[in-house]
């Protein structure tokens, strides 16, 4: 992506832009979005901090970042570029409804998506899996969803992707529907419940 100054009559060429984020956030005002991506960012964000010539598309409307404020512009997002290694996933955050997102199939991106070392959990079979933070409970992440018979808790954000014999893959339409429905309701999980689900067994040799 190039930095450039556009006059009020110019429109950006979407073919020279990379799509670096397509997910749901709480902020809906441009100034709030600008503030977020220049401070805390987002686990699924693949770009740099927002600056001049970057384009934000929200609620179907595109706005270009200028030296002062934003300006609405025509922008065809289908002409932008994406990495070839993106996986379609269902992303689940604590206290929020799930949504469909994309995660790059690299260890760095997968770790960023869950905020640390990854752990693979198989909820049903070997064709899909949950990727969560291996240390989520230990480092005090917020309880997110219960899995299995309800006795096991996942702490922190996680995503569901498909699997092959040797690798991860993006979800099919039916798999997306399955997990969007399964995790559609946010759950209230107390810190005490998360702590009670944390533990390990140490065996000493004789």
- Write out pLDDT tens, residues 39-80: 999 999 999 999 999 999 998 899 999 999 999 999 999 999
What residue ranges do the domains of the chain occupy?
Answer: 14-79, 86-196
pLDDT at 41: 94
Cα–Cα distance for residue pair 157/206, rounded to 1 Å: 40
Which residue in 128, 126, 127, 145 sits closest to 194, CA to CA? 145
Q: What is the pLDDT of residues 118-166, one digit of tens each?
A: 999 998 776 999 999 999 999 999 999 999 888 899 999 999 999 998 8
Q: If we measure between CA atoms, which residue out of 87, 96, 85 comes closest to residue 171? A: 87
């Amino acid at each position: 992506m190039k930095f450039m100054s556009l006059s009020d009559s110019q429109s950006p060429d979407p073919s020279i832009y990379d799509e670096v984020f397509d997910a749901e956030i709480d902020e809906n005002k441009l100034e709030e979005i600008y503030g977020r991506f220049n401070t805390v960012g987002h686990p699924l964000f693949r770009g740099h901090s927002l600056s001049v010539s970057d384009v934000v598309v929200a609620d179907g409307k595109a706005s270009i970042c200028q030296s002062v404020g934003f300006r609405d512009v025509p922008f065809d997002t289908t002409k932008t570029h994406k990495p070839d290694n993106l996986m379609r996933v269902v992303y689940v955050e604590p206290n929020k409804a799930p949504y469909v997102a994309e995660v790059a199939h690299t260890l760095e991106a997968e770790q960023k998506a869950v905020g640390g070392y990854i752990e693979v959990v198989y909820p049903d079979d070997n064709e899909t899996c949950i990727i969560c933070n291996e240390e989520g409970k230990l480092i005090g992440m917020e309880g997110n969803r219960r899995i299995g018979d309800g006795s096991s808790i996942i702490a922190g954000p996680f995503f569901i992707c498909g699997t092959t014999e040797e690798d991860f893959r993006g979800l099919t339409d039916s798999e997306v529907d399955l997990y969007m429905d399964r995790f559609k309701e946010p759950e209230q999980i107390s810190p005490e419940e998360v702590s009670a689900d944390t533990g390990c067994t140490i065996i000493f040799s004789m």
